[in-house]
Structure formats: C-alpha cells, structure tokens
Structure 1
Amino acid sequence: MQAKLHRWAAADPGRRFDDLYNFVCDPATLLIAYRRVAGNRSARTAGVDGLTVADVERETGVPGFLDDLRAHLKADPSDAAFLARAGASAMVMASFVPERKIRELWDLTRRRTELARAAGWEAQRLEKELEDTGMKLAAVLTDLVGVTGREILEALVAGERDPHLLADFAVGRARAKIPALVEALDCEFTDHHAFTVRHFLDEIDRWKQVIASFDERIATLLADHQPDLDLLDTIPGVGRLAAEIIIAETSGDMAQFPSAHHLA
C-alpha cells in the first residue's frame, strides 16, 4: 500500500486521499498489517507499548488487540493529522520507497540470508551428531562439509570405519593434518549415525541448491548494477554477497540519504 500511495502521490502532487483514514482503520487492513509485522524477525522485540507479538497473543489475543487499536485510531485522529502536516512541511524525512525492482531484490537477499542461516543450522546439527560418536573431526577441520570433510563423511556413511583409510581422504592442506585426523576419527560410528549423517548432508545440499537459485535470480536483477558491485567489491571486507545486499537495501543511490546517519 505504501508503494502505491507513493506512486500515486508522485504522479499527481495535488491528489487528496480523502478516504485513506477509513481504509487504514478497516479491520481487514489492520489484520494484514499485524500479520506482516508478526512475520518479521523484529517481532520478538517489544514495541513502543512494551509488548512483543508473543505478549499480544498470550495476553489479549489478536482480535482484541486490533479492536483496541482501531478504537484508539478512530477516537484520536490528531496523531495522523499532525504527521500529515509535518510531512507536508518537510518537518520529517520521507520514507525510503525504492522502485519495484529494488524491492524485489530486498525480498530475495533477505530470504537468501535466512536460507543460509538454515543451512548453517543443519551443519551445527551434523556436528552435534558426530560428537555423539566421540568423533572430534570439527576440532581438526574448520569446515565439516568442505571437500575433505565431505569425502570423509561420505566414506563413513558408505561403511568405511578405519581411521587411517578415512584420514587418507584428506586433500590439499588438510593432508598435513592426517595424524590429527586419524586420532579424531577414532570413534563409535554406528549404522544409526550413518543414517542421520546422510540425512543432514542431504538437507545441507538441498539448502545449497535453493540458495544457488536465489543467487541466479539476484544476479539477473543486478545486471544493470555491475559497475556499482565492482566498486563496492573494492572496499576491504565487502565481497560480492555483501555488495548485493548493500544495493538491495539502498538501491545504490546515496543521493536520497542526506547523511550517513540517515542511511544507518
């Protein structure tokens, strides 16, 4: 709704939205707004009223909460009127409403971050499962599902149990750690562990495939921003992934942010 209002207002600066107040106070509108807020990661943080989404659902219930909110809006429209006058007088900064393409990038990059986090959780569960066997592989390899770790785990799932043969799957610089790998792989790895490790590896692969599809879609939408991405990539500590997120969050146009404080 915000994007539509912005577009309509930009196309016709003199346009009046006479029925907007009633639309905002409509129960269906408030319910949609609540669901969107409840779906945000910030829903766990208390708002200005000191309540989190969990507090609302536990103490008053969503219907009762929205009824109270609607009654307040209807009874005291002065807040909305003041904000409208303040906006018209340039007393408050306009909201950042990027074009649709950038909003799509915003959705994609944020969802990709959530997917990467989910893949990381699966890797943590895998590590915990290996600890149950007495294996200390994570103490030797920095990445359990890297090339060496993956080869060793695949061999374990396939039935190999000899620590020396398993350690010999090490590649690259990991071969210098073979003695430590032999010691770390001295464990009780059962058929049950083989089944669960197979499951975790498959889940990690599934998440990676989904993330790869998001990478492809994001790259397509960012084709016109390649010069910006290249410039951002020159900043120490900013790689391709971070550069894509910066473009998605800012649209790549710093002119709309008066200062670094407003950008932050």
Structure 2
Amino acid sequence: MAGKRQKRRLEVVHPDCAGIDVGGHEHWVAVDPGRCEVSVRCFSGFTDDLQALADWLESLGITQVAMEATGVYWIAPFEVLDARGFEVLLVNSRATRQVSGRKSDVLDCQWIWQLMSHGLLSGAFRPGDAVCTLRAFVRQRSRRIQAQSWCLNHMHKALAQMNVHLGHVVSDLKGKTAMRILRAIVAGERDPWQLATLRDRRLRADEATVARSLHGNWRVEHLFALEQALAHFDFLEQQIGACDRAILSALEALPVRACAPTELATPSRSAHRSAAEQRRLQQALLQVMGVDLSAIPSLGVDTVLVIAGEIGPDLSRFPSQAHFCSWLGLAPPTRISGGKALSGPGTKVNNIAAQALRQAASNARSSRSFIGAAHRARLTRMDTAKAIKATAHQLARLIYAMLTRGQPYVEKGIEAFEATRHDRQLRALQRKARKLGLDLVPAA
C-alpha cells in the first residue's frame, strides 16, 4: 500500500459550548478539556449553585449550552442560563442516547458536550418568556377544567348509588336544571315534585318525568359524597375564573402586533365565560397574534388561546409549513427503508397544540364551510383517525400562512369545494377514458 489512509474526523462546529446532564438534586457540566484543568464539574440544584454554574461558564468563555430535557428539572437551570445571556439548547433524550453500553453522569455530560461541539444536536422549540407565562396559565386552566369533569363523574356516581336518575332526563349535569336540583338536594330538599319545579322551561322532559327520576333512597353517605363533589366543583369554577383573569393579564402584557382593521368572527358559546368576556379575550388575541385565527371554521376562542400559548405569534423558528407541521406531528411520516415506505405509525408526538387542532378537526364534521366539506369528503374515503389528522394538517397550514403573511382568513364556501371536487372527478374520468381509448362527450 502506498500509505495509510488518513482517518477522517468530525469538524468542531461549536467550540464555545458546554453539555449539562440534568438531575433532580445535582447537575453535571462538561466543557472542552483544553479550557481548564477540571473539565467536568458537579453543581447542586440550589439557586446559588446555579448562579455559580453560570459564573464558571462565563469565565471560560462559553456561549452555548446543551442540556437534556429531563422531567421538569431542566427548567431552573434553563431559566438561569437564559437570563444570563447563554444560548441554551433543550435537547430530546433520543438525540443524546449513548452508543456504548456504559452510562454515568460524567459520561452523559461529556457525550452531550461532544455531540454539541460537532453540531449534531438541535434545540427544541420554546417560545419566549412572556409566551411561556401565558402557556402556563392556559395549561393550568385546562387542568382545572379536567378536574371539574372528575367532579361531575363523582356526582353521577353518588346519584346512581342513590338510584336518582337525574342524568337520564338532562343532557348535562352542568346545565341550569341539573345544578338547581343538585343544590336543592344538598340544601335538604327531598320531595321529587318540589325538586321538579326547578326544571328550566327549555328542558324537553316534562315535570312528571323529572319527578319520577328523583325518587331515591337518600342514604347519608351518598349525600355526603354529592355535597363534597358539588363544593369541589364550585371551588374549581372560582379557580377557572381566576385563570381567565390571569390569562387576560398575560395577553395584555404581550407586545401588540400591527394588524389590518377586521371584523371579528362571532365567538362560540363558552361554559365558563360570558359573551362579553369571550369578545374581550378574542380582541386581546387579535392584538397579540396580528390576525383573527378564530375566523377559521371550527377554531374557537379556546383553541386559538391554546395555539397562542403553545406557539406564540412568532413562527420564524420554522422555515416552512412542512417544518411546522412536522413539529406538530401532523405531517405524513417518512419512514423509508430499502427504497420502500415502512408500514405502521411514525414516531409518537405529544403536542398540546396538535391535540387542540385534532379536536377542532373533529368538530369540523358539522361545519357548513369549505373546511367542513373537505373533512366530510375525507371521511368517505379514509378512516376517522386519518381524516381528522389530515384536516388538522390543513388547519395547521392555514395558521402558518396567516401568522407569517399577516393575511386574514377568507372563507371560500361549500360551493367552491364542490366545484373543485367536480373538476377533480372530471379530470380523473378523462384520464381513465384516455387509457381505454375513449373520449368523454358532454351530455346535450
């Protein structure tokens, strides 16, 4: 042989970087061994030690830091380092998995530093601090609403144990009739006919039917469970109201984006807000996002609020619609091996904004709009889950276009969809006719 082949090595892309292995009690930090004698140090999770970590990295000239997303333990060091001016990359644990079988905190932080220095890591999307504050309030409100649904389940259970079939004559225990009757029962009323007089006049079931459903055994332990569930429900309703006020304050603290004068879409009804509160929240979202996303059919104010909290108005981190939809987990999977597409689902993505868009897509089934017609057409040729994902993908593309271009949504209508589908079907028939050597002739 003329000579030994030169061994190719990876180039150093980020020389001024560090890797952090995040833990619940301590954080291990690794830097380039050429910068100091001790290139791996351990810092506790206390705030003073986190400040000492930032001081040490500043003294070494570090500008970029990569850390693994571990539970909620990454939040404190992330916020401290981000406030000190470091470029912090939050990395998925799948990207930092060790190749060898060995594992320790020292090896993990050194491996993260090595991957980061060679440019092999990409940071996860995280909106700005002000948007993160809004996101925390929106998520807290969602958890309170979920806890309220658990209280309703407890009420249903207590009524069933007392053989009170109120849930069979009313559609929702949160309605006016059900709440009036439940509060009267907790207050001590037991006469079914007296309780039936509390029914709302819009209830389909008559007073006699409601009275028949309210005959029960009224055992003490079940009444006690019902009373506590109702008290918890009322307490959660107060907390939801407090969350709404905090959300509105967080929206008003965000920068106002320039937007063209537009007429707001009619907001949908809310179980926890009045019409005036819905309109005020919709106006605040318009000022923050720059466009009225609630004008898109099936996107209510609550869905737009989730999108504003999870993503924010700035989508510059996503170069195209394809990147944005891929981050949401709504893009078609590209799993190819041997030149063939692999069957089965792709990587599972847990994204709250994507879940909100899927819920909006499922609601589009009854929408008298272009999106609703497109969704119903998808349901005829594919299963429900795929149709919902495809419609959510369509909504995500609309949101990206509106936020990046600042253009309002223009409704095409069902007629435009039917015309497009008619043209598509005609072209398909013409292709089939040409393959058979035939010509399509329009009827007289």
Under a length normalisation based on structure 1, what TM-score does the superposition of the two structures give?
0.70
* Alpha-carbon distance between aligned partners in 2 of 1:161 and 1:94, rounded to the nearest angstrom: 61
Change (3 A) 1:15 1:86: closer
CA distance in 1, matches of 2:182, 2:20: 60
- Unaligned 5+ segments in structure 2 are 1-13, 22-27, 31-40, 51-68, 75-92, 95-102, 257-283, 330-444
Distance, in Å, in 2 between the alignment partners of 1:216 and 1:18 is: 40
Query: Is 1:172 the equivalent of 2:178?
Result: no
- Aligned mate of 1:133, from 162, 185, 195: 162
Decide whether aligned partners of structure 1 residues 16 and 83 sit closer, same or farther in structure 2, where only a CA change above 3 A counts.
closer
CA distances 1:178-230 after superposition (whole Å, capped 9, x unpaired): 33322211211234433332211110010111111111111121234531387
One-letter identity of the residue aligned with 1:163: P
Q: Residue type of the partner of 2:72?
A: R
Partner of 2:29, secondary structure, is helix
Q: Which of 25, 42, 51 is the matching residue for 1:26?
A: 42
**Structure 1 counterpart of 2:296, one-letter code:** I
Residue 202 of structure 1 aligns to a residue in which SS? helix
Asked if the contact 1:138–1:144 (Cα under 8 Å) also holds between the matched residues in 2, the reply is: yes
Match of 1:261 in 2: 326
TM-superposition CA deviations, 1:120-150 (whole Å, max 9, x none): 1111111101110001111221221321111
In 2: Cα distance, 1:241 partner to 1:167 partner: 34
Matched, 1:86 2:123: no
Matching of residue 226 in structure 1 with residue 255 in structure 2: no
Work out the percentage of aligned pairs sharing the same amino acid: 23
Counterpart amino acid of 1:226? Answer: L
SS at match of 1:82: helix
Does structure 1 retain, via aligned residues, the 8 Å contact 2:162–2:218? yes
Could you state the TM-score of these two structures normalised by the residue count of structure 2?
A: 0.44
What is the rounded CA distance, in whole Å, between the counterparts of 1:219 and 1:229 in structure 2?
Answer: 16
Aligned Cα root-mean-square deviation (Å): 3.3
Asked if 1:121 corresponds to 2:150, the answer is yes
- Other-structure match for 1:193: 222
Alpha-carbon distance, 1:154 to partner: 1.5
Matched position secondary structure for 2:44: helix
After TM superposition, list the pairs within 5 Å mapping 1:5-20 onto structure 2.
16-17=16-17
Give the 3 Å change call, closer, same or farther, for CA 207–230 of structure 1 in structure 2: farther
- Write the letter of the residue equivalent to 2:29: F
Q: State how far apart, in whole Å, the 2-side matches of 1:145 and 1:20 are.
A: 49
* Separation of aligned partners in 2, 1:211 and 1:170: 26
Task: Give the Cα–Cα distance (whole angstroms) in 2 for the partners of residues 229 and 170 of structure 1.
Answer: 44
Q: 1:102 aligns with which of 125, 131, 144?
A: 131
Question: Secondary structure of 2:127's partner?
Answer: coil
What amino acid is aligned across from residue 73 of structure 1 in structure 2? D
Match of residue 157 from structure 1: 186
The separation in 2 between residues aligned to 1:138 and 1:229, in whole angstroms, is 43
SS at match of 1:165: helix
Indicate conservation of the 8 Å contact 2:167/2:173, yes or no.
yes
- Whole-angstrom CA distance in 2 between matches of 1:172 and 1:234: 33
Contact 2:192–2:214 under 8 Å retained in 1: yes
What is the count of residue pairs matched by the alignment? 218
The 8 Å contact of residues 177 and 199 in structure 2, kept in 1 or not, is answered as yes
2:20–2:112 contact (8 Å) kept in structure 1: no
User: What pairs up with 1:192-211 in 2 under 5 angstroms?
Assistant: 192-211=221-240
Q: CA contact under 8 A between 1:140 and 1:177: conserved in structure 2? A: no
SS at match of 1:23: strand
* Code of the aligned partner of 2:285: Q
Q: Secondary structure at the match of 1:86?
A: coil
Corresponding letter in the other structure for 1:200: A
**Alpha-carbon separation, structure 1, partners of 2:163 and 2:290:** 45
1:1-33 superposed Cα distances (whole Å, 9 cap, x missing partner): xxxxxxxxxxxxx9934686853673635xx97
- The residue type paired with residue 222 of structure 2 is H
Against the structure 1 CA distance between its residues 164 and 207, is the aligned structure 2 distance closer, same or farther, given a 3 Å change threshold?
A: same
Matched residue, 1:235:
296
Segments of structure 1 that go 5 or more residues without pairing to the other structure are 1-13, 39-46, 49-67
Shift of 1:79: 5.0
In terms of fraction of residues, the more helix-rich structure is 1
1:73 to 90, 99, 108: 108
* Cα pair distance change 1:209/1:252, threshold 3 Å: same
Structure 2 Cα separation of the partners of residues 197 and 126 of structure 1:
5
Answer yes or no: is the 8 Å Cα contact 1:27–1:70 preserved in 2: no
8 Å CA contact 1:229, 1:243 repeated in 2: no
